[in-house]
A and B are shown apart, each in its own frame.
Chain A
Amino acid sequence: MLSKLKLSILIGSFLILAALPMITEAIDEPFYIDLMARVMIFSIAAMSLDFILGYGAMISFGHALYLGLGTYAVGIMAHYEVTNGWLQLLVCISGTAFIAFILGLISLRTSGIYFIMITFALAQMFYFLGISLEAYGGDDGLPIDTRSEFFSFFDLNDAWNMYYLILGTMTVTAIVLWKIINSRFGMVVRGSHSNDARMQAIGFPTMKYRLAAFVIAGVVCGLAGFLLGNLTEFLTPEYMHWFRSGELMIMVMVGGMGTLFGPLFGAFAYLMVEDFLANFTEYWQFYFGPMLIILVLFAKQGLWGMLPGKEDMSDE
């Protein structure tokens, strides 16, 4: 179970996020709604990565691929004037699930360094595919003219509706993933993290469990891409670039690897630091690179991990 402190931080953050549109309207700074919407989308993506990385020890270095696939699902369907949100969602989920399944079959045959390099190369393959698809804008990308349409009374062109859809998705995703991690299924995946040979000896086909976890993470990240496509109204292969995958890993690490809720804050911290440094200097990566190395070496437990109250593996 979560410690009281962590639970109150989560509930507090949720309340602040829920009230944010009212606050920004009161102080007349609507810009922050968009910024936080973006942060929350990356939070969902980072959380999905932590699900396989922190709990399943699958160091996927190509996770941004699914973010890109989600935006492509929205973008390509909108391009052909299919704007029904439910249909788009169906295509997005089944498409990302299918690709995650195939890529999982290939990459999960390996482990360790091989797994890192293969997920990296396979994601880059889709990035180059996106660039060569001239019909969908190539490397320039393509504007998405219409946002997804769900209900007639819930227009996503309204900034508040968009914001609350993202907040709702993030909250539901966090709860569902938390349930999965603490379920029997999650226990098997975590067990295979600690000692795969022993899990197999007990009789669990761990490969199937790991593959299922890989697909779940891909689909959740695809959902984040679905929201990202709607928010930015733009489709671009750039979201599939390995650099984005690296950023997602940084968010997970900064938040705390193997703590499901840490990456929520990791995404916030990373995007804020990036924004701050980019305003301060054109060469922000020059400062961020060494900062990252120092963080890795000395503050590995991440923000969430620094809080008292360990999320012990034996917790139910």
Chain B
Amino acid sequence: MTLLLFIEQFLNGMQFGVFLFLISAGLTLVLGIMNVVNLAHGSLYMIGAYFASTFYGLTGSLIVSLVLMIPVMLLVGIVIELVVLRTLYDRDHMDQVLATFGLILFFNELVRIIWGVEAQPLTLPMWLSGNVEILPDAPYPVYRLVVIGVGMAVAAGLFWMITKTRMGMLIRAGASNRPMVGALGVNIRFLYTMVFGLGAVFAGLAGLMAAPLQSVESGIGEDMLIFAFVVIVIGGIGSIRGALVASIVIGIFETVGRSILPVLMLEVVDSETAQTAGPALASMLVYILMAVILFFKPQGLFPARTG
């Protein structure tokens, strides 16, 4: 029983890790390449989830929603980059924090104005709502497995793009020496806009996949943003590999810790202490992990090689 619970929570952790990866992948590229703190990255996740609920309501198909979603999120990302982010590249971090904080306020209210204050419903289609037996007598939701699969596919695609394609080469070059890449005749501004748009698509994809699993409401992006920050701090700014490893680790730690820690504590202390301290400790677990890793590796696990 305990083993089954552990496996189930482990998979849930993987699935949460996939969401974290999709969000932090874009964020870490923006931080690493453009050296911009973008608090509003969580808003892209939220916007993605809202669009998903609307598209799904209109078309009734998750696949069609996904296809509609990609160009829309790309456009949203490009507009944000052109209107606000672009003016912040030469500013200091304080300005970037405050301006993107302003963006968060704007988007959180904007979705309330457009979609109303109630949470948006999105129920899974039949073919995704079933269970599958991963082990004998251990049913697990198909949808969560699909999420893990999609996330892994995106991660593989992103690695391929970064290491094998011309655009990936330019992204890496831009991260290590921006002026030089510009001097060699590459339109670095256009590259930035594209990277930001790509990050928006990933965040939107996470929002779409998360929409059936959580209530879609204003402010959901910021909860994910905090985790994404932890992921990037642990993984190392600008490192896709670090983001992937840290996302999965954090996802599993967070999910498994929350369910296992109170049980484990029962073994050591009496039930009353475990009931009070268990949830409190579980909520701090991820941050304690971050502090410990940071203490030994201040640059994160996979510091990106920048010039």
Contacts and interface: CB of A to CB of B under 8 A. Distances in A.
Interface of A: 53, 59, 61, 106, 109-110, 112-114, 116-118, 120-122, 124-125, 128-129, 131-135, 242, 246, 249-250, 253, 257, 283-286, 288-293, 296-297, 300
Given A106-B294, A242-B222, A293-B84, A253 B98 contact: yes
Most buried by B among A114, A117, A257, A291: A117
A122 B294 contact: no
B190 interface: no
B230 interface: yes
A132 B102 contact: no
B134 interface: no
Contacts of B102: 288-293, 296
Given A121-B290, A124-B226, A129-B283, A288 B98 contact: no
B295 A121 contact: no
Interface stretch (B9-17, B105-113, B241-249): B105-113
B222 A296 contact: no
Contact of B31 (A53, A113, A125): A113
B101 A283 contact: no
6 contacts: A109-B294, A112-B93, A121-B233, A246-B98, A286-B110, A290-B102
A105 to B, nearest CB: 9
Give the 6 A-B CB pairs with smallest separation, nearest first: A289-B106, A292-B102, A289-B105, A286-B109, A125-B287, A285-B105
Contacts of B226: 120-121, 124, 242
Interface secondary structure of B, over-half rule: helix
Contacts of A132: 279-280, 282-283
A116 B287 contact: no
Interface string B268-296: 00000000100110111001101100110
Given A242-B226, A253-B98, A283-B112, A109 B93 contact: no
| Residue of B91, B105, B291 ringed by the most chain A CB atoms within 10 A | B105
A116 B37 contact: yes
Contacts of A134: 276
B199 to A, nearest CB: 16
Contacts of B104: 289
Contacts, number: 120
Given A242-B222, A289-B103, A122 B287 contact: yes
B87 interface: yes
A249 B98 contact: yes
B93 A257 contact: no
Contacts of A284: 109
B95 A296 contact: yes
Contacts of A285: 105-106, 108-109
Given A290-B106, A297-B95, 5 more contacts: A116-B37, A128-B283, A128-B284, A253-B94, A296-B99
Contacts of B230: 117, 121
Interface in B228-242: 229-230, 232-233, 237
A285 B110 CA distance: 9
Contact of A246 (B87, B101, B113, B276): B101
A122 to B, nearest CB: 6
A109 B295 contact: yes
Contacts of A291: 102
Nearest to A285: B105
Contacts of B106: 285-286, 289-290
B179 interface: no
Contact of B237 (A114, A131, A286): A114
B170 to A, nearest CB: 22
B109 A120 contact: no
B35 interface: yes
Nearest to B113: A283
Contact of A292 (B87, B105, B288): B105
A114 B233 contact: yes
B97 interface: yes
B298 interface: yes
A17 B87 CA distance: 40
A133 B280 contact: yes
Contacts of B37: 113, 116-117
Nearest to A126: B284
A131 B283 CA distance: 9
B182 to A, nearest CB: 22
